[in-house]
Chain A
Amino acid sequence: MKQSSDILLSLKNISKSYNCADSDLSVLNNFSLKIDRGEFVSILGPSGCGKSTLLKICSSMIQQESGTVKISGQIVNSPDKSRVLMLQDDNQLFPWLTVEKNIAFPTNSFDSIRRESDLPNLLEMAGLSNYSDYYPHQLSGGMKKRTALARALAGDPEILLMDEPFGSLDPKIKIKLQDFLLEIWGKYGMTVLFVTHDINEAIRLGQRIIIMSDSGDIVCDEKKSLSEKSTLYEDVFFKLYRKYYSLLTGIGHQ
């Protein structure tokens, strides 16, 4: 039995529908979920199952029609700096600010959430020390992602809500960024909800894997049964891959 104090994010009976062509399309229906503090949760599911909607509701960027979102037991209704939403788009970075100023944006917007002195550390950790005065359009795709991650960290969030952040990258850069994300997760210990279409990525990153059906229900929610050192090439990894693949494709063809 979980101690209630471990639970950071709690969604209860969330429902959300969109109005499409004069009819309501329900994406989440009485959806409930609890996430522990410090967990890294991968969320897989077919397109349109409500994964992105779920993240937007968690960040209060959109409002649910019914149900409650609680952070540390408190109901939340409006966006705040403790829950940073990261979208797939590269253009979340501001083109008119340099890398350094983009990363410092959360600290300038507030009364220094994370100390200014952390900025050089963030730049260094993201491997961007030599690019601090570059503008986003001068960076590669991977560097943009690292800048966006460093900016998200500068605000010292409790929860990172990531919507397919590495979707458009080539596999080599993707793996590097996954390692980078795991490294900062290990260092800062924030809670991560990571939405992806990539089963490999979900297994590699998540401590806990959630699979949603295309009706928006949870069909699998389990702790990853892999050792820390398991790699993409081990049998146990493939077993998990096959299991999730069949769950996902089975759902997709229903």
Chain B
Amino acid sequence: MKYLSNRILNKIFERFMWIGLLVLIWIIAVLLGDFSPLILPSPYKVLQALLKGFTEGILGKQILISIVLVFAGMSIGTLIALAFLFLAVSSRMGDSLVTTLTAVFHPLAGIALLPVVILWFGTGALSIIFIIIHSVVWPMVTNLLMGYRSIPEPYKIVGRNYQLSSFKMFFNITLPGSFPYILAGLKISWARAWRALISAEMIFGAVFGSGGVGWFIFSKRVFMDTPGMFAGIVVVIIIGVLIEDFVFGVIESRTVRRWGMSL
């Protein structure tokens, strides 16, 4: 336990050290370079804009909207990916269908779908969730299938030996057996979903009245509020790092690391 907490503390320390170094380079660039504040504002101005976003603006609400949207999209996307996995492992035809769908849709960038999605669902939250689902499902299915195929044969033999039903086989052996790949899939999906969300928000505008973080950045651009734009980017980065380190970090240490199954 002590080892674990030391490890996490070390990781946090290293994170802060590198981020601190980047901020230092930023400060030096602002001090030494003769940049217009409209091109490169100082970290102090960005911090001020960030605080202003919370106190005078509705940045808190916008962050919440972004997080709700990304989690809704990821949850639905993960469930669809699991259903595809179940289909793929249940029959040869199912496998062929899922493999083909993945080959067709995985290379298709979410942004390329936007015009069609706007036609179908308008410019509301539904369209954003659709784009997130699209960006989540295919990398997730690819990872889930890779995980399923990497399950050692002896696990399946044990399952068959104890006459597990397809349902029990799936939940007792397939899912935990491929969990390292599921987790890797979730991480990739999260990163793609978060990017897709910010892009979609910038294009679709103010969903739920106020829009999310993407809209915050876009609206600052309209008024040429460069510190505000940077503040939005900082928020995107901070949320990304927090989810990666804390949410996935904790899941990883409680599952695959504990089980000795890290990839």
Give the B-binding residues of A (Cβ under 8 A).
Answer: 59, 61, 78-81, 83-85, 87, 89, 91-92, 94-96, 105-106, 109-110, 135-138, 155
Q: Would you mind naming 26 contact pairs between A and B with Cβ atoms under 8 Å apart?
A: A59-B161, A61-B160, A81-B163, A85-B157, A87-B154, A91-B152, A91-B155, A92-B154, A92-B155, A94-B158, A94-B176, A94-B177, A95-B259, A95-B260, A95-B261, A96-B176, A96-B179, A109-B162, A109-B163, A109-B172, A110-B163, A135-B258, A135-B259, A136-B260, A137-B259, A155-B162
User: Are B261 and A85 neighbours in the complex by a CB distance under 8 Å?
Assistant: no
Q: Note all chain B residues with C-beta closer than 8 A to A109.
A: 162-164, 168, 172
User: Are A84 and B259 neighbours in the complex by a CB distance under 8 Å?
Assistant: no
| Interface flag for B255 (CB, 8 Å) | yes
Q: Note all chain B residues with C-beta closer than 8 A to A61.
A: 157, 160-161
Complex Cα distance A144/B160, Å? 21
Chain B nearest CB from A63 CB (Å) reads 13
Complex Cα distance A136/B155, Å? 14
Complex Cα distance A87/B160, Å? 14
Complex Cα distance A95/B179, Å? 11
Complex Cα distance A81/B160, Å? 9
Complex Cα distance A135/B176, Å? 14
Chain A nearest CB from B260 CB (Å) reads 3
Chain B nearest CB from A43 CB (Å) reads 19
Q: Note all chain A residues with C-beta closer than 8 A to B161.
A: 59, 61, 79-81, 83-85
Q: Note all chain B residues with C-beta closer than 8 A to A94.
A: 155, 158, 173, 176-177
Known: A91-B154, A92-B154. A110 touches B255 (CB 8 A): no
Interface size class of B (residues with CB under 8 A): 20 to 34
User: Are B163 and A96 neighbours in the complex by a CB distance under 8 Å?
Assistant: no
Interface positions of B from 134 to 175, Cβ below 8 Å from A: 152, 154-155, 157-158, 160-164, 168, 172-173
The residue on A at minimum CB distance from B172 is A109
Known: A96-B259, A135-B259, A135-B260. A87 touches B163 (CB 8 A): no
Complex Cα distance A99/B179, Å? 19
Complex Cα distance A144/B179, Å? 22
Give the A-binding residues of B (Cβ under 8 A).
Answer: 152, 154-155, 157-158, 160-164, 168, 172-173, 176-177, 179, 255, 258-261
Overall SS of chain A's interface = loop
Complex Cα distance A155/B158, Å? 11
User: Can you add 4 more A-B contacts, CB < 8 Å, to A85-B157, A94-B177?
Assistant: A79-B163, A80-B163, A92-B154, A96-B259
Known: A95-B260, A96-B255, A135-B260. A89 touches B154 (CB 8 A): yes
Q: Note all chain B residues with C-beta closer than 8 A to A78.
A: 163
Known: A109-B172, A137-B260. A89 touches B152 (CB 8 A): yes
The residue on B at minimum CB distance from A90 is B154
User: Are B261 and A96 neighbours in the complex by a CB distance under 8 Å?
Assistant: yes
Chain B nearest CB from A97 CB (Å) reads 8
Q: Note all chain B residues with C-beta closer than 8 A to A105.
A: 158, 162
Q: Note all chain B residues with C-beta closer than 8 A to A59.
A: 161
The residue on A at minimum CB distance from B154 is A92
Among A85, A109, A155, residue most surrounded by chain B Cβ atoms (within 10 Å): A109
Among B162, B164, B168, residue most surrounded by chain A Cβ atoms (within 10 Å): B162
The residue on B at minimum CB distance from A161 is B161
The residue on B at minimum CB distance from A107 is B162
The residue on B at minimum CB distance from A80 is B163
Q: Note all chain B residues with C-beta closer than 8 A to A83.
A: 161
The residue on B at minimum CB distance from A106 is B162
The residue on A at minimum CB distance from B152 is A91
Q: Note all chain A residues with C-beta closer than 8 A to B259.
A: 95-96, 135, 137
Complex Cα distance A91/B258, Å? 16
Known: A81-B163, A109-B168, A109-B172. A92 touches B260 (CB 8 A): no
Complex Cα distance A138/B257, Å? 12
Chain B nearest CB from A42 CB (Å) reads 22
Complex Cα distance A45/B233, Å? 69
Q: Which of A81, A95, A135 contacts B162 (CB 8 A)?
A: A81
The residue on B at minimum CB distance from A136 is B260
Q: Note all chain B residues with C-beta closer than 8 A to A138.
A: 260
The residue on A at minimum CB distance from B261 is A95
Q: Note all chain B residues with C-beta closer than 8 A to A92.
A: 154-155, 157-158
Chain A nearest CB from B236 CB (Å) reads 34
Q: Note all chain A residues with C-beta closer than 8 A to B261.
A: 95-96, 137
Q: Note all chain B residues with C-beta closer than 8 A to A106.
A: 162
The residue on B at minimum CB distance from A89 is B154
Complex Cα distance A78/B162, Å? 11
